[in-house]
Amino acid sequence: MKKSFLLVLVAVLLTGCTLVREEQVSERPPQFPPGVRVYKDLAYVPKGHKRQKLDLYVPGSGEGPLPLIVWIHGGAWKEGSKESCLPLPWVEKGYVIAGINYRLCQDAPFPAQIEDCKTAVCWLRTHAREYRIDPGRIAAWGDSAGGHLASLLGTTGDIPYWEQGHPVGSSRVQVVIDWYGRADLACVSTDPAYADSPIAMLLGGSGPEFADEAEQASPIRHISKEDPAFLIMHGDKDEVVPVEQSLAFAAALREAGVKVKLVVLKGAGHGGEEFLAPEEVTTIDTFLHEQLSPRKTAQSQP
């Protein structure tokens, strides 16, 4: 990896713009390796909301079509931006990278957020040839609220009612990387302590009357044996989303016969540079390579 690109990653980690405080955006423009093509503010909904846009980073070399990583930012569903696109270094590893914005909870209540994520994937798949994307090799990766939405993408690929008119299956992804996302939102309907929480803001309220909404928004409630492979990473000192969320999610995925790798980072909280330590980057690279190899995905085209 070139020195300039490493500096970009270090700057992201030091500012914490993605891992800790998603609303902060580095003002330093990233420096990409020669040949990388950058497409900013592509509207995945024609004449849609100002948040329904994505950025795309396409390697200048490598034989196409190329695997795609869709980055879904965190920020408690109420803040954050595609500008803090953590997987940018993977463009030099031969991946097309898409950073997507979606409507925040103050723009529209759930399910607007997952509808936007699905629509963005559909748009990327429709324009795959134009941007050298392999439509059968798509990974969804997100942190915190973005991890929740990436997981929901993974577990609802066979559910038609959020497809917004697209053919069933068009928003399917082949891989999910979930960084400390909440898998079960039922607490908002049972625990009064969550009345003023981001979950309540997302769903439009709290209490028993929101039990159905909480169930619909919970990735763990949609698991089936057809779901893609998951890599789940969570710190055991996370005080925002308890690690028990990921432990239960991984167990439920395994019980359904879904391939899942769970990495619990000892001493890590809700994000931090530990998630991109060399050994964790190796884990991510190995997982992506194994799950997105052309041979493995050839028989699972959408």
Give me the sign of the Cα torsion angle 188, 191, 192, 198: negative
Percentage of the chain exceeding pLDDT 90: 79
Position 145 scores a pLDDT of: 98
Q: Are strands 53-58 and 133-143 parallel, antiparallel or unpaired?
A: unpaired
Rounded to an integer, the average pLDDT of 212-237 is 97
Position 203 scores a pLDDT of: 97
Q: What is the DSSP string of the chain?
A: --HHHHHHHHHHHHHTTTTT-TT----SPP-PPTT-EEEEEEESSTT--TT-EEEEEE-SSS-SSEEEEEEE--STTTS--TTS-TTGGGGGGT-EEEEE----TTTS-TTHHHHHHHHHHHHHHHTTTTTTEEEEEEEEEEETHHHHHHHHHHH-TT-GGGSTTSPTTTT--SEEEEES-----THHHH-GGGTTSHHHHHHT--SGGGHHHHHHT-GGGG--TTPPEEEEEEETT-SSS-HHHHHHHHHHHHHTT--EEEEEETT-BSB-GGGGSHHHHHHHHHHHHHHS-HHHHTT---
Task: Express each pLDDT in 256-293 by its tens digit.
Answer: 999 999 999 999 999 999 999 999 999 999 999 999 98
Rounded to an integer, the average pLDDT of 127-137 is 95
Judged against a pLDDT cut of 80, whether residue 18 lies above it is answered with no
Percentage of the chain exceeding pLDDT 70: 85
Rounded to an integer, the average pLDDT of 115-136 is 95
Mean pLDDT value across the chain: 88
Buried b (16+ CB within 10 A) or exposed e, 89-116: bbbbbebbbbbbbbbbbeebbbbbbbbb
Name the nearest CA neighbour of 53 among 119, 112, 107, 106: 119
pLDDT class of 129 with cuts at 50, 70, 90: very high
Q: Please tell me the least confidently modeled range out of 27-36, 112-121, 140-149.
A: 27-36
Angle CA 288–233–281, to nearest 5 = 45
Judged against a pLDDT cut of 60, whether residue 28 lies above it is answered with no
CA distance 13 to 271: 10
Task: Express each pLDDT in 197-207 by its tens digit.
Answer: 999 999 999 99
Q: Which residues pair with 229 in a beta bridge?
A: 175
Annotation: CATH topology of 3-183+218-297:
Rossmann fold (3.40.50)
Angle, helices 112-126/145-155, rounded to nearest 10 degrees: 60
Position 295 scores a pLDDT of: 59
Chain length of the chain: 302
Q: Which sequence spans correspond to the domains of the chain?
A: 3-183+218-297
pLDDT class of 25 with cuts at 50, 70, 90: very low
Position 94 scores a pLDDT of: 94
CA distance 184 to 187: 8
Judged against a pLDDT cut of 50, whether residue 15 lies above it is answered with no
Rounded to an integer, the average pLDDT of 82-99 is 95
Position 162 scores a pLDDT of: 78
